[in-house]
Chains A and B, each alone.
Chain A
């Protein structure tokens, strides 16, 4: 893990590490430990005194229908974002891997949503689905569907799913394309000589060989949907209508800053931390396994 030829110096390595460690401790580890600490305290309404309540904040959370509802919304949301975005990207990547002419041009045209902030992507789709002026809402009305994400929770959830999935397409596309290009051509050629159709080759050879990429992207997409989409929700639906789009990161912000419920917000933070740690461990386990072969 480090070089054989090394320097010895009494203070230099610490000085080099100091800025990184100082920021980490002040802005990461200290606040995280504060969240842990506050999550077991109950503060009175004026913030004057607090008492130790052990797991009461957590129990209260899991008895709160709003929190459970938020959990459910988050799960539906992240699964939908991951599948929609990955499915579409995989289709595009397979096609881009096939074409000979213009593949660079397609690549350039497909990668730049990565640069667009989730919040901005939210605003784009918010505009297109706006019930009065939006082009998509207008088209839907022509087809007989009255779209209104201000009133209909399902419409609102679909709106943030589409906006979030759209922003993630380019990322998934790039990794799927890289994964496809790493599959040895000889395997596919052999299958073709044996008479396997393109469809059959995809499902029996390409897709299984692509599974490490797919799994990696699945974790990344879930992490993105859980933690990276705050902007999409906050800039568009504000968690509404009636909590239909109140995903967990939005709720932790809303309860803490708008509702000023310190203990509850801290408990939510702790739960979210547990989820990130779980997902990170899964991701690294997988990376390690990939390194082995």
Chain B
């Protein structure tokens, strides 16, 4: 605080409270809607306080699913999302860390060329090459498989950069000492570099898990079989039901379930999340 201006402090808190309200109210309204019986949500104004159907609604969507969405139980979609998010996260971390290791610690022909090929992926998000990528996955017969959901999203320039950046800060003496003691490239990587990278991997885990969980367009393209639907893209089927009103209480229960896992990760690992976010963008 530079100078004492009480009215300014009050104003600051007021503005922040408005900000918090803007962030929290939509979630609150969603949560409230998910705890009421369907009839209450047929006409505005809808209640602002939770109802008594919390357990029933959530049990219904988790176990049986909403019939108009083809009746896929949300439990199945949650599991699919989890499998996809974790495969993407671990896949990205694994292939990026070894690629960065090769680029930083080895001298070999075409090193810069390989680096640039990886770099290019930054410029080609799925959204700009939808059809041909879909064709590749279809030709490899990976539609409606977990591999099809995750493998094409595993390549990552940002994770490779992050590890490269981190390896460059590891003191040279460490590698020198390891080599004098007779450690080969495998031993050095597993016994020294991997343990040192633990914090970076954890920070990256948070960011990548959210990225993987929140994928929308890709699962929409590669899954036609309902048993492979992920929850984030599955909601859309419940909202856009043809010729009738969406079953709002169940849709909102599904929405809450869809946002819960990544929100828990962010709030639970806040420090790592902020670190990961800042590092990835550097």
Contacts and interface: CB of A to CB of B under 8 A. Distances in A.
B123 A23 contact: no
B241 to A, nearest CB: 13
Interface stretch (B53-61, B69-77, B124-132): B124-132
A114 B118 CA distance: 26
Given A30-B136, A110-B19, A227-B127, A236 B26 contact: no
Given A95-B16, A109-B24, A238-B240, A24 B262 contact: no
Interface in B263-278: 263, 265-267, 270, 273-274, 277-278
Contacts of A169: 19, 22-23
Interface stretch (A4-12, A55-63, A71-79, A153-161): A4-12
- In terms of DSSP, what is the predominant structure of the interface of chain A? helix
Among A109, A118, A170, which residue has the most Cβ atoms of chain B within 10 A? A109
A23 B155 contact: yes
Contacts of B277: 114, 171, 174
Interface residues of A, number: 102
A3 B176 CA distance: 11
Given A3-B104, A31-B132, A127 B252 contact: yes
Interface in B86-107: 94-96, 98-99, 101-107
A16 B98 contact: yes
A262 interface: yes
Q: How large is the interface on B (under 10, 10 to 19, 20 to 34, 35 or more residues)?
A: 35 or more
B26 A166 contact: yes
B82 interface: no
A20 B118 contact: yes
B232 A231 contact: yes
A92 B16 contact: yes
A89 B258 CA distance: 25
A129 to B, nearest CB: 11
5 contacts: A12-B106, A98-B9, A108-B270, A231-B232, A276-B128
6 closest Cβ pairs, A-B complex = A117-B214, A31-B132, A231-B216, A138-B44, A115-B262, A34-B132
